[in-house]
Structures are given as C-alpha cells and as structure tokens.
Amino acid sequence: MINYISTRGGGPKSFEEVLLEGLAPDGGLYVPKSWPQIDLAALKGKSYVEVAEAVMFPFVEGSIERADFRGILEETYSAEIFRHPDVVPLHKLNDDLYVLELFYGPTIAFKDVALQLLGRLFDYVLSKRGERVTIVGATSGDTGSAAIEGCRHSDHVDIFILHPKGRVSDVQRKQMTSVNAPNVHNIALDGTFDDCQSMVKAMFNDPAFRSEMNLSAVNSINWARIMAQIVYYVSVTLALDDEVSFVVPTGNFGNVFAAYAALQMGLPIKSLTVATNANDILTRFFESGEMVAKDVHPTLSPSMDIQISSNFERYLFDALGRDAEKLNAFMNEFRDSGKFSLSDSLIDGGGDLTAYRLDDEGTLEVIKKIHDETGYVLDPHSAVGMAAALKIVGEVERDGPVVTLATAHPAKFPDAVEKAIGERPKLPDHLSDLMDREEFVTDQPNDLKAVQDFVRSNV
Ligand SMILES: *Cc1c(COP(=O)(O)O)cnc(C)c1O
C-alpha cells in the first residue's frame, strides 16, 4: 500500500485523506512516498479501463476495494461520458507524428479524463464516510467546466469555481455558467488566473475557514488528477509498442508531471518536452535554471496563461532530493522575491526535460500549416505542442514516434482557429446549443473576505 507525503514535510497520509484534502495542511502538495512499477508486458492488448486499473490501483489501495475501483473506472470511461471507443484516441498524421486526442469528454478538453474520475472518487469516499465537502477551485478556463461536470450530480459536494472575469473564452465561460444546479456556484473574479489561484490558496491557508467549510480541492494540485493522467502515457506506449517522444502543452505543469511520474514508474519514454506559450516561465527555467515570475499576458491559448505553475513544486521536490526543508526555502524565496535559481546539477537530477515556447503568431502559423498539409485542425494549445513536435521530428538523430497531446477540441477556441484557417470549427452535437444557454454567475472583487462571505452564505 502506498502512502503519501507532503512536499513541505507533512504526512504520511492515505489516498483517501490526500483525495479529500487536495492541498496539504502545511501548504505543500502530496506525492507518493514511493513509485509503484509498471509491468508493461502484462498490459499488452488490454483495454483503457484495464490499463487504468493496473496503473492506478496501487495508488488507491487501502482506501478503495479493487472491485469498487474497477466499477468506478468502467463508469468514468464509458461511452456515455467519453464519446470515442478508445477514450483517448491516437490520430496518426504520418509515420513519425501522432496527436493524442484527449478531448472526447463532456467539456471537450483533457481535464475531463481526470475530473470525471475525481468526481466519482469523491462521491465514493464521502458516502462511505457520511460527509460533505466544499470544493473551491480556480480556473484559467478548462478546469472549471470539467470540475463542474465531474461534481454536478454529487449529493456530497458543493462546488465554487473562480474564473478571471473576461479572460476566458466565451465557450469556456458558457460551459461553466450554463450549469444550473443547487450545488454549483460560478464566481467571476476581478483579476487574473494567478489572482484566482492565490485566492483559493489563501482560503486553504485560513485554518478556521478551511475546517468550517470542510474545504477540498480539485485543481491540479489534487494528486488524484495527476494519477489519472499517468494512464494515457502508458496506453500510448502500449499502442505504439515503442519508446515515445512526448510533447506536452503546459500551464500548471500537471499534465507534464503525470508524464514525469510515468517515467518514475519505469515507463520507457524517449524524451519529454514542455511546450509553453509566451507566458514562458517554465521554458526560461529549463533553459537557465532561473525561475523568475513576470506579468501574465493574455494569449490565444488562455489555459496556459500562467506564471506560477503550482505542480512544479512536485517536480522541484524530487529535483531537491525530496528534501522538504530545502523545498520550503525555495518556495519562500519565490513567494517573497518572485524568483529563485537552481544549479545545473540540480536540474539534471530532476529528469530529462526540454522546453519550447511559441508566441501567438507562431501558433496561428502552425494551425494553418497542419491544416494545409493534412486537413487536420488543431486548437491553439495543441498547436503550441505541435510546433515543438515538428521541430523534434526534423532532428537528424531522432528515431521513434513523436506524440503531441491535443488538450482541447478546436471548437473550444473557435476565434483563434478561424483566424488561422478561415473556417469556424463546429462544436460537437452534445454542445451545439451551448451559446444559447442561460448563464448563472456572480461577480466578486479580488478580495478574500468578500469571496469567503459568498462561499459561507451559499454552502
Ligand atoms: C489546462 C490546460 C492546459 C495546461 O495543462 P497543465 O496540466 O495545467 O499544464 C493545456 N491545454 C488546455 C486546453 C488546458 O485546458
């Protein structure tokens, strides 16, 4: 059975505790105390659900019965929820280059893969304990709707989602705010995504409020989300039966941390590339070892408009040899001064990641190029990854397949796509009337007390 420790020194905790707490009480993020190893040979020819069970069960053992977990997975990755028989299909562009399509869930972005599972895990654990929780989360666009879809039918959860007012796309906003359920509350915050994220952190760091509301988190700081995302790196490796070079469009470092976790679990990965837009704090870090926060600039890929990547803390913890004291010192320095630097030897110790950045102009060019050459339409986030993938494919010494993650359906960002190719991508059938649906949302100032009062009076 695997226990969990906090990056800031706390623990050990069980999966159940880690799931419900989200963020550790010491302000850190939970990571498994050790990495279970994947037996790839035993997974050949298995279904997505079977692979998911094998990869994830060691992480939940002791908190969930195996048969119950299997039932939850069958429900989560069923045809009613994920509208493709492969759940996460691999689209071949040519012999070298594949797109992993992660957008067949209800909100047509990759976050459904984890959040559909998370909602069901919450319900399972909370009904067993006879408890309720209040989920508060920040979203740069896609997490919010995916979290709401994951929790809207729950009898045990009230959910409050903060989004930066005016800084998410119309489709993203409508997907969140058109849900009319008594346990679902949308807050449009007067600020940036980082302000929303800081606000959520501040609520968690207020012990009285935290226990009064029984707060819980579904942001990518929740370990269970990372766990669910490990599965598709394994399923791709099995499908291609080869060492894969993965490219991951990145914002909060969640998806790429899942790939890093797969590596720690023994998955043979040829290379791992982090792709960012012009908000390139991570790319600058991997180039220089210096983490320096700058202002956030709105781009065509808004779900990656992030300067403080919360999941990076998990990676840093490993890079520092899992020394919580050192980690604390770095995080405090970053909080106080907006920067810190790591020596090269430390970066080398954390695994072989390379980084890539692409501005908006480049994003539009890649969408157009791929459409012109193959007829395939990328969303702007996936295009940022594609640019890095094309570069890798062009490298002389490379061999083996390159897989870039398509993190959203192009119709989720129709303006950018239309600008690139002159055609507006159509929403899938289940969302075709989305833009006509009524909205339910409350405006709030960037003020902790005001938001806490709102939460308190609506639970
Ligand atoms: C959330 C999101 C990302 C960034 O993912 P992280 O795991 O936070 O790095 C990229 N693309 C899309 C479409 C997203 O919704």
Residue nearest to atom 1 of ligand 1 (CA): 303
Asked if residue 353 lies in contact with residue 260, where contact means CB atoms within 8 angstroms, the answer is yes
* pLDDT tens, position by position, 62-90: 999 999 999 999 999 999 999 999 999 99
- 199-239 pLDDT tens trace: 998 998 899 999 999 998 887 789 999 999 999 999 999 99
Task: Please state whether beta strands 339-341 and 290-292 pair in parallel, antiparallel, or not at all (unpaired).
Answer: antiparallel
Rounded (to 5) percent helix, strand, coil in the chain: 45, 15, 35
252 lines ligand 1 (CB under 6 A): yes
Q: Give a yes or no: residue 52 inside a domain.
A: no
12 prior amide bond cis, ω within 30: yes
In the predicted model, what is the mean pLDDT of residues 391-400? 86
Tell me whether residue 176 is in a domain: no
Question: Which pLDDT does position 347 carry in this prediction?
Answer: 58
Kindly state whether residue 348 falls inside one of the protein's structural domains.
yes
Is the separation of the CB atoms in 133 and 156 below 8 Å?
Answer: yes
Asked if residue 404 is part of any domain, the answer here is yes
Query: pLDDT class for 103, splitting at 50, 70, 90?
Result: very high
Q: How confident is the model at residue 350 (pLDDT cuts 50, 70, 90)?
A: very low
Q: How far apart are CA 307 and CA 319, in angstroms?
A: 20
Tokens of 59: 């992480």
Phi, psi (deg, nearest 5) at residue 402: -110, 125
Ligand 1 lined by 306 (C-beta under 6 Å)? no
Please tell me which residue, 10 or 347, carries the higher pLDDT value: 10
Task: State mean pLDDT over 330-340.
Answer: 90
Stretch 238-242: mean pLDDT: 97
Q: What is d(CA 377, CA 374) in angstroms, rounded to the nearest whole number? A: 9
Residue with the larger pLDDT of the pair 137 and 296: 137
Whether 258 has a pLDDT exceeding 50, the answer reads yes
Measured CA to CA in angstroms, residue 46 lies from 209, 239, 251 at distances of: 45, 10, 31
Distance in angstroms (rounded) separating the CA atoms of residues 406 and 64 = 31
For ligand 1, the distance from its centroid to the CA atom of residue 456, given in whole angstroms, is: 30
Q: Which atom of ligand 1 is nearest to the CA of 381?
A: 11
Positions marked active-site: 111
pLDDT of amino acid 345: 56
Mean pLDDT in residue range 253-268: 96
Q: Which atom of ligand 1 is closest in space to residue 254's alpha carbon?
A: 7
Q: Which helix (H) or strand (E) holds 414?
A: helix 414-421
Phi then psi for residue 404, to 5 deg, are -110, 140
Element housing 137 (H / E): strand 133-138
In contact, 188 and 450? CB cutoff 8 Å: no
Q: Per the domain annotation, does 208 fall within a domain?
A: no
Beta partners for 341?
Answer: 290
Q: What value does the mean pLDDT take over residues 431-458?
A: 97
Given a cut of 70, whether residue 375 has pLDDT beyond it is yes
Cα-based distances in Å from 261 to 188, 231, 248:
34, 10, 14
Mean pLDDT of the chain: 93
Q: How many domains does the chain divide into?
A: 1
- Residue 220 beta carbon below 6 angstroms from any ligand 1 atom: yes
402 within domain boundaries: yes
108-159 pLDDT, tens digit each: 999 999 999 999 999 999 999 999 999 999 987 788 999 999 999 899 999 9
Are 385 and 275 a contacting pair, CB within 8 Å?
A: yes
Closest ligand 1 atom to residue 408 Cα is 13
> Do residues 24 and 10 lie in contact, with contact meaning Cβ atoms separated by under 8 Å?
yes
pLDDT beyond 60 at 323: yes
State which residues form the domain around 405.
Answer: 90-105+225-421
Residue 42 Cα to ligand 1 midpoint, Å, equals 31
Going from the C-alpha of 152 to that of each of 139, 184, 283, the distances in angstroms are 16, 7, 36
- Identity at 421, one-letter amino acid code: I
Contact indicator for 409, 434 with CB cutoff of 8 Å: no
- Write the DSSP assignment of 331-393 as a string of letters: HHHHHHHSEEE--HHHHHHT--EEEEE--HHHHHHHHHHHHHHH-----HHHHHHHHHHHHHH
| 304 Cα–ligand 1 center, Å | 6
Question: What CATH number does residue 350 fall under?
Answer: 3.40.50.1100
Tell me how far apart the alpha carbons of residues 390 and 96 are, in angstroms, rounded to a whole number. Answer: 10
Tell me if 205 is assigned to some domain.
no
* Contacts of 263 by beta carbon, 8 Å cutoff, 6+ apart: 269, 272, 351
Look at residue 286 and tell me whether its pLDDT is greater than 70. Answer: yes
Token duo for residue 361 = 């102009």
The span from the CA of 125 to the CA of 107, in Å, is 24
Q: Which residues pair with 147 in a beta bridge?
A: none
In a domain, 195, yes or no: no
pLDDT of 295 above 90: no
Single pTM value for the model: 0.93
Residue whose Cα lies nearest atom 2 of ligand 1: it is 303
